Structures are given as C-alpha cells and as structure tokens.
Amino acid sequence: MIKQKVAFLGAGSMAEAIISGLLSNKKLTPEQIYVTNRQNKARLSELKELYGVHVNTNHEQIVKSADIIILAMKPAGVKEAVASIRSFTSENQLFISVLAGITTEYLSYLLGHNAPIIRTMPNTSASVGSSATVISPGAYVHDAQLQIAASMFESIGIVKHVKETDLDSLTAIVGSGPAYMYYLFEAMTNTLKELELDEQLGEELLLEMMQGSINLLKATSDSPRTLYESVRSPGGTTEAGLQVLANDDVQRTISTCILRAAARSKEITKEKINNT
C-alpha cells in the first residue's frame, strides 16, 4: 500500500489504465488519487464516476498538495502542461512521466527546479494488467522513490529497470510494439474474407493461435527460427508462405519499422528544444 497522494496531469487512456491498475491491486485508495486534464470536464466526470477519484479542472488544487505527480499528457502538450503547474510544484514532490521521447533533463528544465523525475514507458496492455513497463530514474531520484514508482507500475504488469539512454529504443519495443502486433493481427483477419471463412470463427482461432505461439515462445529455450523451422515441412504449406515473406524481405521491413519508431522517440525532445 502506497501512502502518498498521487496527482495525474492528463486523464486519457494511459492515465485511466494506471488508475485502474492501482485501484484494483489496492496500491492506492480512490481518496489518494487526484486527476486533472486540459479542458474535458465530461472525461473527468467519467473517471470520478468509474473510480471514485477526486477530479478538478483547477491544476493548482490538484497538484499543490500531491506527493507524486504523474505526467500523462501527449508529448506535444508537455510545455503548456508543465507551465500550468510549475509555480505550484517543488523539489519535495516526485514526478513520474509516461511521455514518449521526453527526457528527464528536459522535464527538469521545464519545471525549473531539481525535483526527482522518473521516466517510464508502459503500454496499453496496462488496461488488462499486462503492460511491459520500463522505468528509469533521472537525477535527484532516491532509491525509495524509484521503488514506489516501480511498485505503482507493477500494478499494471511487469516492470524492468533500465538506463534512460535505452528508453527511446525501448519505447519502440514496449510502447509502440502493441500497435505492430495489432497491425499483424489485422492483416491476418483481413485475409479471412478472401479465404471465404466465417470471420467470427476465424478471429477466435487466430487469437488462440497467436496466444499459443506466444505461450510456446515463453515456455521454450528454442529460438524463433527453430520454432518456425519445426512448423515448416519441405514442399508443404508453411514453406510456401515463408517463401513469400522472404521474397518481400518482411523481416527487414519490421526492423526498419522499429528503428524508425526508436529514432522518432529521440527526435521528440530535440524538436521541443529547437522550438524553445
């Protein structure tokens, strides 16, 4: 059980996933959680209704008395958001960011003081308690603060401690990664029609097939190549399909996709600094 008061600046899908995990795992009570956003009052009412948390459009009232402030707005809005709370914050508060591509150093600069800041990257599987979250302390963070942050994110899945210099690359893997999995799933489901299959049945089977493949990957020490070679029979169906993937160099395309997402994460803070 965490004793501190926690304020969320941003009330979108990531904030909700974290709030939901914290409450269902009894890490915090609704009385300890304060939420604000930019202007969407209906959204705040919805979160109050669903989770019983305190909500308020007044940033000062939400942030001033909080021990921990979670930054959960889009990176594009970070300057405006931090400017709106800067004068009500102090070095005695702990800041936790879920923002893609925004460094703790840049957040320190925006805050204008030396508060401890922890950078994290969860993912949307948080909403079902299955996030793979990476977490990294900026300057001024004590071990006890890092432990509290890790414990909060453990309520929405697994947590790995990493160096901040790895966070941009890991954002591509854990943060954006689910989108690429859904993209693959969509490509497979789109093919069901062309195969003249019942789509409901096909989707159910596809999901089980993907889940089963992941279960086997997790359970075995065999490499992915060994696993797909064990599926392939010479002259068989799998080989025919794998040949198409090899001809189109699909593995290279997937690598390029992940590299581009990682590079984009690196660009985000640089763009902000250049526009200052």
Ligand X SMILES: NC(=O)C1=CN([C@@H]2O[C@H](COP(=O)(O)OP(=O)(O)OC[C@H]3O[C@@H](n4cnc5c(N)ncnc54)[C@H](OP(=O)(O)O)[C@@H]3O)[C@@H](O)[C@H]2O)C=CC1
Q: Where on the chain is the footprint of ligand A1CAB (CB under 6 A)?
A: 100, 171, 175-176
Residue nearest to ligand X (CB): 12
Residue nearest to ligand A1CAB (CB): 175
> What is d(CA 271, CA 37) in angstroms, rounded to the nearest whole number?
24
Footprint on this chain of ligand X (rule: CB under 6 A): 9-15, 36-40, 43, 72-75, 77, 80-81, 84, 98-100, 121-124, 175
| CB-nearer residue toward ligand A1CAB: 137 or 175 | 175
> What is d(CA 15, CA 62) in angstroms, rounded to the nearest whole number?
15
Residue 138 binding result from ligand A1CAB, ligand X, none, given CB thresholds of 5 to 8 Å by partner type: none
| CB-nearer residue toward ligand A1CAB: 36 or 120 | 120
- The residue among 96, 86, 87, 88 whose CA lies nearest residue 116 is 96
Residue 14 binding result from ligand A1CAB, ligand X, none, given CB thresholds of 5 to 8 Å by partner type: ligand X
Q: Which long-range contacts (CB under 8 A, 24 or more apart) does 271-276 make?
A: 272/75, 272/78, 272/79, 272/102, 272/106, 273/106
DSSP output for 95-161: EEE--TT--HHHHHHHHTS---EEEEE--GGGGGT-EEEEEEE-TT--HHHHHHHHHHHHTTEEEEE
Residue 190 binding result from ligand X, ligand A1CAB, none, given CB thresholds of 5 to 8 Å by partner type: none
Per the listing, tokens 């699909």 go with: 250
For residue 20, the minimal CB distance to ligand A1CAB (Å) is: 18
For residue 238, the minimal CB distance to ligand X (Å) is: 32
Beta carbons of 135 and 119 less than 8 angstroms apart: yes
Does the annotation flag 12 for ligand binding? yes
- Binding-site members for NADP(+) are 9-14, 72-75
- Binding-site members are 9-14, 72-75
